[in-house]
Amino acid sequence: MAESALTPEIVELLRRSSTATMTSVLARYGLRNTFLLGVRPLTPGQRMVGVAFTLRYIPAREDLDHTGTVDNLTDPQRLAVERIGPGEVLVIDARGDVRAGVLGAILATRIKMRGGAGIVTDGAFRDTPAIATLGLPAYCRAAHAAANKTVHHPVDFQVPIACGGVAVYPGDVLVGDDEGVVVIPRHLATTVAREAAEQEDLEAFLWEKVRQGASIVGVYPPDERTLAEYRARRAALSS
């Protein structure tokens, strides 16, 4: 997919803004359901920016999935792991079912080695104590020790999926911080990156005023006087 790579500038802009700000920018474009519900960082303190590589699970069926074997050349989970490219995030639709892990530490390591930018699911990971040591951003609803085929059947990848109640299309941009993960439709990625950075700059200014004791009235949201002050400050800084 040619569009798979984000420019380093956009990645950098997205890395600097919070998911809260991006959610607000997306709401301006009419998109109000963009944050994965119930999906939390396994290890706080990391930032994730990447392009969605989707993987879809359905419920396991005993004759297909409880065989105790897995074939790396046909199993969609394994194929997906070996196709993840640099800057991509593996997003797994687990139907919110946390009764088994969707992925463990060895596969997570492989994703990291391939340059993957993170792993995300609305299910559970397994081997979470080990995954937490990898330095790979990981977001999930829970931890569960059981292997994926206990309750899941990986069925296909790079199709549109549901994750945490949000639609994720292959190629969408996923950004994660300690609050969680926001999904940015691919065609809006550049716009959101730029507008979020601008909004963060303005809000940093407003926040500073509030920290210094200003009322929110006239400040948050800013009135014309506050905006003028902000523009003056910004002009002064950039001159």
User: Which of 50, 87, 101, 170: binder of a second copy (CB under 8 A)?
Assistant: 101
Closest approach of Cβ 224 to a second copy, in Å? 14
Residues facing 168 on adjacent strands: 161
Residue type, 98: V
For residue 2, CA distances in Å to 6, 23, 76 come to 10, 26, 22
Residue 145 as a binder of a second copy (CB under 8 A): the answer is: yes
Closest approach of Cβ 23 to a second copy, in Å? 4
What spatial distance separates the first Cα and last Cα of the chain, rounded to whole Å? 41
Residue 144 as a binder of a second copy (CB under 8 A): the answer is: yes
For 121, the token pair is: 């699911």
Task: Return the number of the residue (7 or 82) whose C-beta is nearest a second copy.
Answer: 82
Task: Return the number of the residue (195 or 203) whose C-beta is nearest a second copy.
Answer: 203
Residue 98 as a binder of a second copy (CB under 8 A): the answer is: yes
Find tokens 């059981």 and name the residue: 146
Span from 4-12, 19-27, 191-199, 229-237 in contact with a second copy (CB under 8 A): 19-27
For residue 85, CA distances in Å to 91, 116, 173, 176 come to 13, 6, 14, 18
Task: Return the number of the residue (153 or 234) whose C-beta is nearest a second copy.
Answer: 153
Residue 82 as a binder of a second copy (CB under 8 A): the answer is: yes
User: Which of 5, 10, 155, 197: binder of a second copy (CB under 8 A)?
Assistant: 155
User: Which of 78, 191, 194, 227: binder of a second copy (CB under 8 A)?
Assistant: 78
Closest approach of Cβ 239 to a second copy, in Å? 27
Q: Please count the residues of this chain forming the interface with a second copy, following the rule CB under 8 A.
A: 86
Instruction: State which of positions 196-225 bind a second copy (CB under 8 A).
Output: 203, 206-207, 210-211, 213, 215-218, 220-221
Residue 161 as a binder of a second copy (CB under 8 A): the answer is: yes
Enclosing H/E stretch for 168: strand 166-168
218 in the Ramachandran plot: left (φ > 0), alpha (ψ -120 to 50) or beta? left
Instruction: State which of positions 123-142 bind a second copy (CB under 8 A).
Output: 126-130, 132, 142
Sequence-distant (6+) residues with CB within 8 A of 88 are: 4, 50, 51, 52, 53, 115, 116, 117
Q: How far apart are CA 194 and CA 216, in angstroms?
A: 25
Residue type, 237: L
